[in-house]
Amino acid sequence: QSVLTQPPSASGTPGQRVTISCSGSSSNIGRYFVYWYQQLPGTAPKLLIYRNNQRPSGVPDRFSGSKSGTSASLAISGLRSEDEADYYCAAWDDSLSGWVFGGGTKLTVL
Amino acid sequence: EVQLVESGGGLVQPGGSLRLSCAASGFTLRSYWISWVRQAPGKGLEWVANIKQDGSEKNYVESVKGRFTISRDNAKNSMYLQMNSLRVEDTAVYYCAREAPESSGMDVWGQGTTVTVS
């Protein structure tokens, strides 16, 4: 059972907007930045969002992140088939003195 | 090209040991915290350990404390994960990842090395 809670699956059709939620607590999301990672099938994870809502260079602006209190969300607009992947949220946790990840959300583009 | 390359994975019996290596190229490892993150077959990501630039601080997930040791050799631009008393549940792909400065996330990942405990 992961410290951060994500829905196991999400889906949408091409062009749609989908959001993925991530719920934590005061010792992680409530206190620290949230990060989002994308893992395409058979590949290593890739940083998608850092410091709650910042995109590394090369990440399309279709991807956006937000945080409020002890929850965060990732939004993907203009959904494309190549967005089909697993998405993980992460944050530092004070009480565990370590990084914690969500269980991951498998995004299917119908 | 900025790159991390893991090695050292393999098949080991329960109770055995393995030492994973992570070699950096295209950048100077000494400037970064580095993490190990693992992924069991069909499961999600789990952070395992990290180490400060000079090796003076190390953090571990509870399940590996006392069994795994993270270390680094900045002169060789490499870091390591010594894994002792391995358990079946340690079976996973192990990734090393660079933690970018100023809370900018794990921005560079290796391709992973597979550890099978059986």
pLDDT along chain A (110 residues), means of 10: 96 98 98 98 97 97 98 98 98 97 97
3-state secondary structure at position A108: strand
Q: What is the DSSP string of B23-72?
A: EEESS-GGGSEEEEEEE-TT--EEEEEEE-TTSS-EEE-GGGTTTEEEEE
Cα distances from B20 to residues A101, B9, B35, B113, B118, in angstroms, run 22, 6, 12, 8, 17
Q: What is the pLDDT of residue A104?
A: 98
Minimal C-alpha gap between A95 and chain B (Å): 11
Which of 72-111 (B) contact A at CB < 8 A?
95, 97, 100, 103-107, 109-111
Q: Do A44 and B109 touch (CB under 8 A)?
A: yes
B46, closest residue in chain A (CA to CA): A101
Residues of chain B with pLDDT under 50: none
